[in-house]
Amino acid sequence: MPGRDSDAIVRAVFAAYAAKDRAAIERLIASDFHFTSPLDNRIDRAT
């Protein structure tokens, strides 16, 4: 089923976020990761 791996990654990132496990999150996201929302200005891995 397409997207199944993506679902597992999202769940793992969320679990690591909830556990405040930055090292686990950094292993799961790309080196050029950026997050943008209406309230944030392009947050990157260093942030």
Note the pLDDT tens digit of each residue in 20-44: 999 999 999 888 988 888 887 788 8
- Do residues 46 and 34 touch, judged by C-beta distance below 8 A? no
pLDDT of the residue at 2: 58
- Angle at the Cα of 27 (from 25 to 33), degrees rounded to 5? 70
CA–CA separation, 39 vs 11, rounded Å?
23
Per the listing, tokens 């990654």 go with 9
Rounded to two decimals, what is the model's pTM? 0.68
Question: For 5, which DSSP code?
Answer: H
